[in-house]
Amino acid sequence: MSGPLYRAPRGVLEYLPPRGEEFLRVRERLAAPARAAGYSYLELPVFEQTALYARGVGESTDVVSKEMYSFTTRGGDEVTLRPEGTAGVVRAVLEHGLDRGRLPVKLWYAGPFFRYERPQAGRYRQLQQLGIEALGSEDPALDAEVIAIGWEGYAGLGLRGVRLDLNTLGCAVCRPAYREALVAFLATIEMDAETRRRATVNPLRVLDDKRPEVRDRLAEAPLMSTFLCAECRAHHDTVRTLLADVGVPWRDEPRLVRGLDYYTRTTFEFVHDGLGAQSGIGGGGRYDGLAEVLGGPALPGIGFGLGVDRTLLAVEAEGTGLAVAAPLDVFAVALGPEAGREVFSIVVSLRRAGIRTDQAFGNRALKGAMKAADRSGAAYAVLVGSRDLAADVAQVKDLVAGNQTAVPLSRLVDTLTRLLQEKDS
RNA sequence: GUGGGUGUAGCUCAGUUGGCAGAGCACUGGGUCGUGGUCCCAGGUGUCGCGGGUUCGACUCCCGUCACUCACCCCA
């Protein structure tokens, strides 16, 4: 096969029917708990000035150093397709003064994000994410709320294999001492050049290495938990108490660091084992210093990003199903061109009455049209031929039971409305 | 960026020591001039990923290349 002239760009995921409906369903279910908790929707640009990510996310991160889709515009601006959501949300909050009103500001967003990586199972160059951000409060109850919202989102999809990993990274008061201790420790162990480089730029991220041989060497590494200041310890204890109170289970994961520079205190990750090597289906944390880094006032914040693609994979891996409803109520069929005109009017009338309706197009043979009616999933077929036209009726056929009755055209909408209601109950 | 696997019909895949490219599904038409689901008949599509090489002859063997895929680092 020489193949079509054009192909989708490398590493993008396309959701074709019927999977597209499942994708939408997943996104709706993940968003529901956030909307129920007073988070407002925000639609942001999918590209920003490159400097926003370089500063906000951090030059030392993989995301910025090797995964950005960056380009220069015709006007000479350096821009980047958004690799994550938080930096853009904080930028918009600061730019438009959303932090001047009632705090905390609670926002949610969804859409595509871009990272230039080698694609593999569960990892795409264009990925779909849904996120929430709460800014303007250091209250640990907000940390617990954000985590619980994520948890409820997965629960709403019927997922049973989601695990929550939880950690705290300390703050500007206590982290420097820990960092120093960690650097001292890292100097004593053996590591490859790339890891050594990472250790100098951002030593905490070395802890996140998943290679067994590296993990072994890190077994004796100092942990943040022993360096926490009183405030951070109290904050973390409260978060965990609140989660326990509402029955959200977690696993303390003292090595959970996460890849972005802006995190402070609470960090967490939702993990699922059904997707191959990429097990993280969502994650987030607190970023109390980010607004200041971006030139704004002190504005603490916490949020998460949930991977919609990966969540759908998890749903499919668990085989729980999403019960996507039949898309149609009625399928209309015309026999001959004169009837075609009548059928078109019928179809539009039915739709205006809230009945989901499609029709056979293209002058198909009746047998083929009925086959199309059958496969459409509609509960009823409406047939109109010249004999019916002469009698001012349409044939209404129950596609499940198989019986058919003539209904006067003037009563067609009412009759079908009633039949569909009866079927529902 | 590095490594493994796979490329044959729209989809899922067969194809024997190298000898004329197949099945199922799907699609379209027909089987009583106006009736689907089961059944029967008929129909069509392929640069066998692409380019070289070996050979009388290559889907098959060799080399290269591209794509897809899985994995490593890392992340959603």
- One domain for residues A105 and A236: yes
Longest dimension (CA), chain A: 94
**Tokens 């100097």 sit on residue:** A187
In chain A, the number of structural domains is 3
Single-letter code of the amino acid located at A21: E
Does residue A266 contact residue A171 with C-beta atoms inside 8 Å? no
Predicted pLDDT of residue A16: 86
Mean pLDDT over the full length of chain A: 92
**Tokens 């077929």 sit on residue:** A381
- Chain A residues 203 to 232 with C-beta below 7 Å from nucleic strand B: 205, 208-211
- One domain for residues A221 and A314: no
Contacts of A353 (CB under 8 A, 6+ apart): A413, A416, A417
Among A185, A210, A227, where does a domain finish?
A: A227
Cα angle at A49 between A45 and A51, to 5 degrees? 140
Ranges of residues in chain A whose predicted pLDDT is under 50: 1-2
Query: For residue range A264-285, what is the model confidence (pLDDT) as tens digits?
Result: 999 999 999 888 888 999 999 9
- Chain A residues 18 to 37 with C-beta below 7 Å from nucleic strand B: none
**Could you tell me the distance in Å between the CA of residue A1 and the C1' of nucleotide B13?**
16
**Could you tell me the distance in Å between the CA of residue A123 and the C1' of nucleotide B5?**
18
Predicted pLDDT of residue A170: 94
CATH number at residue A338: 3.40.50.800
**A7 is near strand B: CB distance < 7 Å:** yes
Distance separating alpha carbons of residues A164 and A1, to the nearest angstrom: 46
Distance separating alpha carbons of residues A394 and A406, to the nearest angstrom: 6
DSSP H stretches of helix in A69-174: 86-96, 140-156
Say if A277 falls within a structural domain.
yes
Say if A194 falls within a structural domain.
yes
Say if A204 falls within a structural domain.
yes
- One domain for residues A286 and A338: no
- Closest amino acid to nucleotide B50 (CA–C1'): A2
Contacts of A341 (CB under 8 A, 6+ apart): none
Say if A4 falls within a structural domain.
no
Say if A342 falls within a structural domain.
yes
Identify the three-state secondary structure at position A352. Answer: helix
**Could you tell me the distance in Å between the CA of residue A6 and the C1' of nucleotide B9?**
20
Say if A214 falls within a structural domain.
yes
Nearest nt by C1' to A374 Cα: B36
CATH number at residue A62: 3.30.930.10
Query: For residue range A4-62, what is the model confidence (pLDDT) as tens digits?
Result: 677 888 889 888 888 888 899 999 999 999 999 999 999 999 999 999 999 999 888 88
- One domain for residues A252 and A139: yes
- One domain for residues A255 and A386: no
Nearest nt by C1' to A400 Cα: B37
- One domain for residues A76 and A202: no
- One domain for residues A112 and A158: yes
Predicted pLDDT of residue A4: 64
- One domain for residues A27 and A60: yes
Say if A116 falls within a structural domain.
yes
Which bases of chain B are contacted by protein, using any atom under 7 A from a CB?
1-3, 8-10, 27-31, 34-37, 46-50, 67-76
**Could you tell me the distance in Å between the CA of residue A1 and the C1' of nucleotide B53?**
22
Among A206, A227, A248, where does a domain finish?
A: A227
- One domain for residues A134 and A30: yes
**A405 is near strand B: CB distance < 7 Å:** no
Predicted pLDDT of residue A1: 42
- Chain A residues 279 to 338 with C-beta below 7 Å from nucleic strand B: 279-283, 305-307, 309-310, 335
- Chain A residues 159 to 178 with C-beta below 7 Å from nucleic strand B: none
Closest CA relative to residue A165, chosen from A57, A302, A282, A261: A282
**A374 is near strand B: CB distance < 7 Å:** yes
Predicted pLDDT of residue A190: 81
User: Alpha-carbon dihedral of residues A389, A393, A397, A402, nearest 10 degrees?
Assistant: -90
- One domain for residues A234 and A268: yes
Does residue A120 contact residue A278 with C-beta atoms inside 8 Å? yes
Say if A6 falls within a structural domain.
no
**Could you tell me the distance in Å between the CA of residue A360 and the C1' of nucleotide B73?**
53
**Tokens 């997922």 sit on residue:** A159
Structural domain containing residue A206: 175-227
- One domain for residues A184 and A305: no
Nearest nt by C1' to A384 Cα: B34
A78-81 sheet: strands from edge to edge: A47-49, A78-81, A69-72
Nearest nt by C1' to A368 Cα: B36
ipTM value for the complex: 0.86
Among A227, A244, A263, where does a domain finish?
A: A227
**Tokens 């198909």 sit on residue:** A364
Cα angle at A100 between A97 and A104, to 5 degrees? 105
- One domain for residues A379 and A234: no
Distance separating alpha carbons of residues A199 and A191, to the nearest angstrom: 10
- Closest amino acid to nucleotide B31 (CA–C1'): A367
Q: What is the DSSP string of A240-263?
A: HHHHHHTT---EE-TT---S-TT-
**Could you tell me the distance in Å between the CA of residue A1 and the C1' of nucleotide B10?**
12
Distance separating alpha carbons of residues A38 and A32, to the nearest angstrom: 10
Nearest nt by C1' to A84 Cα: B76
Predicted pLDDT of residue A198: 80
Q: What is the DSSP string of A266-310?
A: EEEEEEETTSTT--EEEEEEE-TTHHHHTTS----EEEEEEEHHH
**Could you tell me the distance in Å between the CA of residue A137 and the C1' of nucleotide B71?**
42
Omega before A45 cis (within 30°)? no
